[in-house]
């Protein structure tokens, strides 16, 4: 999937997860939007192993100190003495942006695309780390929930593609897993293809049900659907006509 598709799917899945866990405005206030933002960033994070990762472009910010510009108005930037703190903050922001972009740029040279960053153990491990940090800092666990929802949404969406994901590596390093039959798998590399649009529409509708169905019903049902997709695909691929069979000796 493209970065934009992952961002849309990650936003929908994170919003659904937060709603089902009762982390909703106005009780959570502005922190709900912070948690939603964490889920959006997490939905792009697995693709840091790609040279053209969308998250790298977002971190660079087009070479502009966008956060500083949002804090200090255009008129204040051109006046003395406010121009001095503006230049200082802008310089620090750009330094941080390009440092992070440089570090992200090193990852593709260390691991292959859809490698360790797409493993299930990585998603679970990073989510557990975010939860542990939240627990130690006495912060709400909704940030760990949003991170996990966003990250796992990316991995799940990539299992819909033709190449699939080596979900259970390094335990099974050569086996790619898919949640859709071969004829329905998405072709990546296209600019918002029809197949991606259909997939995103279905994901959006599925996540939209989270706002109408109680958690006691929705969460188990959603889990059964996702697991069922993998099981049904595996069974179909084994039984589909024309599949080459190795004779038993």
| Confidence at residue 64, expressed as pLDDT on a 0 to 100 scale | 76
Instruction: Write down the pLDDT at residue 241.
Output: 63
Q: Can you tell me which residue has the tokens 């790609």?
A: 50
Residue 7 lies inside a defined structural domain of this protein: yes
Q: List Cβ neighbours of 140 (8 Å cut-off, separation of 6 or more).
A: 23, 28, 31, 134
Q: Is residue 106 part of a domain?
A: no
Residue 169 lies in a domain: yes
pLDDT of residue 108: 82
pLDDT recorded at residue 141: 92
Q: What pLDDT sits at residue 248?
A: 40
Whether residue 27 lies inside any domain: the answer is yes
Task: Tell whether 119 is covered by a domain.
Answer: yes
Q: How many domains does the chain have?
A: 1
Rounded Cα distance, 43 and 48, in Å: 11
DSSP per-residue string spanning 148-202: HHHHHHHHHHHTTBSS-B-TTTTTSTT--B-SS-GGGPBPTTSSS-HHHHHHHHH
User: What does the pLDDT read at residue 249?
Assistant: 38
Domain-embedded: residue 105: no
pLDDT values of the chain reduced to their tens digit, one per residue, 249 residues: 788 889 999 999 999 999 999 898 877 888 999 999 999 999 999 999 888 888 888 887 777 777 777 777 766 666 666 677 777 888 888 888 888 888 888 888 888 888 899 999 999 999 999 999 999 999 999 999 999 999 999 999 999 988 899 999 989 888 999 999 888 888 775 555 677 888 888 898 999 888 888 877 888 888 898 989 999 888 888 887 665 554 443
| Structural domain harbouring 142 | 3-50+113-239
Position 247 scores a pLDDT of 45
Is 244 among the domain residues? no
Phi, psi of 65 (to 5 degrees): -80, 75
Whether residue 67 is contained in a domain is answered as no
């Amino acid at each position: 999937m493209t970065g934009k598709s992952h961002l849309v799917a990650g936003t929908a899945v994170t919003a659904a997860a937060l709603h089902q866990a009762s982390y909703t405005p106005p009780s959570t206030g502005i922190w709900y939007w912070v948690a939603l933002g964490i889920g959006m960033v997490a939905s792009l994070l697995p693709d840091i192993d790609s040279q053209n990762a969308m998250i790298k472009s977002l971190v660079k910010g087009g070479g502009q100190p966008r956060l500083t510009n949002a804090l200090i108005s255009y008129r204040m930037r051109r006046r003395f003495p406010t121009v001095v703190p503006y230049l200082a903050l802008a310089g620090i922001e750009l330094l941080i942006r390009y440092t992070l972009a440089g570090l992200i740029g090193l990852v593709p040279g260390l691991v292959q695309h859809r490698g360790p960053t797409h493993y299930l153990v990585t998603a679970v491990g990073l989510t557990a780390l975010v939860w542990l940090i939240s627990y130690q800092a006495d912060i709400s666990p909704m940030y760990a929930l949003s991170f996990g929802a966003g990250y796992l949404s990316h991995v799940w969406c990539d299992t819909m593609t033709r190449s699939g994901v080596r979900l259970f590596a390094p335990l099974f390093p050569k086996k790619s897993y898919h949640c859709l039959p071969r004829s329905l798998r998405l072709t990546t590399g296209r600019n918002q293809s029809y197949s991606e649009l259909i997939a995103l529409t279905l994901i959006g509708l599925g996540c939209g049900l989270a706002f109408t169905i109680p958690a006691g019903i929705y969460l188990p049902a959603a889990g059964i659907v996702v697991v069922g997709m993998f099981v049904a695909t595996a069974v179909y691929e084994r039984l589909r006509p024309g599949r080459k069979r190795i004779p038993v000796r």
